[in-house]
Structure 1
Amino acid sequence: MKSLTILRHAKSGWDATVERDFDRPINVRGQRGAELIGQWLKRQKLPVDRIIASPAVRVTQTLDIFQPAADLDALEPQWDRRIYLASAATLIDVIRDIGGDATHLLISGHNPGLEDLILMLVPESADDELRAQVEQKLPTSALARLEIDIDDWHALDTGSARFAAFIRPRDLDPALSPAMDED
């Protein structure tokens, strides 16, 4: 049995002056969301033994806040450029390549890839309420925890997961309810 935790980067600042999308930072609202989700993970005592992540600035800044809040600051993320704006199929390849001997893997990156990954892994007939929430939108700083009945990440396949948890910043603080410009 493996668990896959999927963490979307925190809300980023579209008003930041950057030359590349890759360099866009998170904003104050994003900082609060990342911290709340990290604290929630710590309270739930959900283990993570490896982190793989996009090296984009908004992901690195998210993890800089999320990891201490989740008591995961001892883990050094493995940065993989393939995760940046990747498709769900590419994310499955990355997980198969890098998952290694991890039992509890966390991947952090971007939409639409992460949302599509969850929808690919969790069959439509399972966990309909949580799946419907993800189909509507995987908001920034949202975290999904999936359980997968495999012994090796190379065996990861579509339709093989079930929800263990799904949490959004707005579930923890109504002041973080989404704006129409959620990115």
Structure 2
Amino acid sequence: MSQVYLLRHAKAVWPSPGQKDFDRALDSAGIESATVLGEEMKRAGLQPDVVICSTAVRARQTLEHIGVKPPFILETLEKLYSGTADNYLTAIRMAGLEHENASSVMLVGHNPMMEDVAMALAGRGDPPAHPVFAAGFPTAGLAVINFDRPLAEIRPGTGTLSTFLSPSEHL
């Protein structure tokens, strides 16, 4: 069995005049949400083998504040910021090819790609299994999707949404 964790970055500040979207940092609510999410992940025993994070500031800060501790392999990928949902799926498969012993990968990225990938992958069961997910993929939301095949062989519609955490509900 393999697992894919899809984490949308936490809430970020609005851009200042002249500031690039890429450089937006987390705001105080985003920092708090990411911290709460990290605590929820720890309680639930959610620990990915590989983490692939967008290079955008708010994504890297989200990863920092959830406090997932090694051992895991960390990679950054610009295409999680500027790419499409297909880039997210390719990143999952490549993680499976490059890290054959890994059974789980977490992508830290952005909407609308995060929501598109989650909906495409979680084809079995009764998705969406969480009412907030039905209304969109919230900031600091984490979907965990289970597969009965290795990461390198994951295909759309073959996963089951097992967990959806949204710390913003508790703040």
TM more than 0.5: yes
1:161 aligned partner: 159
Shift of 1:76: 5.1
Q: 1:29 to 1:16 in 2, by over 3 A?
A: farther
Distance 1:109 1:160 in 2: 21
1:96 aligned partner: 93
2:26 aligned partner: 26
Aligned match for 1:86, one of 79, 83, 87: 83
1:178 aligned partner: none
Distance 1:52 1:18 in 2: 28
Amino acid in the other structure paired with 2:88: L
Q: How big is each residue's C-alpha offset from its partner over 1:90-126, in whole Å with a ceiling of 9 and x where there is no partner?
A: 2111111223321121110000001000000012x62
Q: 1:103 to 1:18 in 2, by over 3 A?
A: farther
Q: Please, what is the CA RMSD of the aligned residues?
A: 1.8
Q: 1:169 to 1:16 in 2, by over 3 A?
A: farther
Q: Is the 8 A contact 1:56 1:84 kept in 2?
A: yes
Distance 1:55 1:5 in 2: 17
What SS does the corresponding residue of 1:78 show, helix, strand or coil?
A: strand
Q: How big is each residue's C-alpha offset from its partner over 1:46-86, in whole Å with a ceiling of 9 and x where there is no partner?
A: 231110010100001111111x2x4x255452001111143
Q: 1:12 to 1:18 in 2, by over 3 A?
A: farther
| 1:52 and 2:49 are equivalent in the alignment | no
What SS does the corresponding residue of 1:128 show, helix, strand or coil?
A: coil
Amino acid in the other structure paired with 2:78: R
Shift of 1:170: 2.9
Identity of aligned residues (%): 29
Amino acid in the other structure paired with 1:121: L
Shift of 1:127: 2.3
2:14 aligned partner: 14
Q: TM-score, normalised by structure 2?
A: 0.89
* 83-92 or 57-66, larger mean C-alpha shift: 83-92
Q: Is the 8 A contact 1:119 1:135 kept in 2?
A: no
Distance 2:92 2:83 in 1: 12
Q: Is the 8 A contact 2:49 2:73 kept in 1?
A: no
Q: 1:164 to 1:76 in 2, by over 3 A?
A: same
Q: TM-score, normalised by structure 1?
A: 0.84
